[in-house]
Amino acid sequence: MVTVGELFDFCEDIELRNAKLYARFMIRLGSDDDRIAQFWEEMSREEWEHHIILNFGRDLCERARMMAEPVRDVARSELEEVGRVVHLAEQRVKTGNYVLHDAFAMAVDSEGSEGDELFLQLVRLIRQAIDRLGEYHLEVRLQRVGRKVHDHLDGLIQAIIRLDDDPELVRRAREALDRHPVVSGT
C-alpha cells in the first residue's frame, strides 16, 4: 500500500518530469512552426500548474496529519507503470531521435497512463485535508481541476488532429480521455 506522502512525492516528480519533456519537445520541434512551439509550451505549463497544486495540497495534508495514512485505492504497481512510461519517453528524448509524431505518441502514452488518476486521487485527499482543517476558503483553489485535466487531454487530441492527423493516434488519445471522465467537483 502507498501512503499519502509517498503519493505526493511520486506525483510531484512525474508532473515535473512531464513538464520538462514537453519543454524539450517545444525547443526541439517548435523551431519551424510556432503552432507546435506554442502547443508544447502550453502542455509544459499545465504540467507545472499540476505541480503547484500538489505543492499547495502537500502543505494542507501535512497540517492535517495525513501524510502517513494509506491510500487504499492506489497500488504500488500503478506508480511503477506510470514511472516506466515516463522513463521510456525520457530515454527516447535523450537520443534526440524523434519527430513530432513520436512526441505526440509519447505524450499520449504518458497522459494515457494512470498518472492523471493518481493526480485526481491527490486532489480528493487535499479536499479531505481542507475538511479536516475547516479551511473551506481554500476550496476555490481546487475548483475546476478535474475539468482542467480533461481539457489538457482534449488539447492533445486537437493538436494531433491539427498538426499530425494520425487517426490511430487520435483513437488512442480519445480512449485515454474516455478513461479519465470529468468528475464533478473532483
pLDDT in tens, 79-94: 999 999 999 999 999 9
- Answer yes or no: is pLDDT of 183 > 60: no
State the cell numbers at 5.
506522502
Residue 134 lies in a domain: yes
Q: How many folded domains does the chain comprise?
A: 1
> Residues 55, 58, 62, CA angle at the centre, nearest 5°?
150
Residue 9 lies in a domain: yes
Q: Supply the DSSP string of 73-132, one letter for each residue.
A: T--HHHHHHHHHHHHHHHHHHHHT---HHHHHHHHHHHHHSTHHHHHHHHHHHHHHHHHH
For a pLDDT cut of 70, what percent of the chain falls above it? 94
pLDDT for residue 185: 46
Question: DSSP code of 32?
Answer: S
pLDDT for residue 32: 81
pLDDT band at 184 (very low <50, low <70, confident <90, very high): very low
Residue 105 lies in a domain: yes
Residue 185 lies in a domain: no
* Predicted model pTM: 0.89
pLDDT digits (tens, 9 = 90+) for 9-65: 999 999 999 999 999 999 999 988 999 999 999 999 999 999 999 999 999 999 999
Residue-number span of the structural domain to which 19 is assigned: 2-179
- Answer yes or no: is pLDDT of 134 > 90: yes
Residue 186 lies in a domain: no
**In the chain, what's the furthest Cα-to-Cα distance?**
51
Residue 180: name the closest of 111, 130, 93, 133 by CA.
Answer: 111
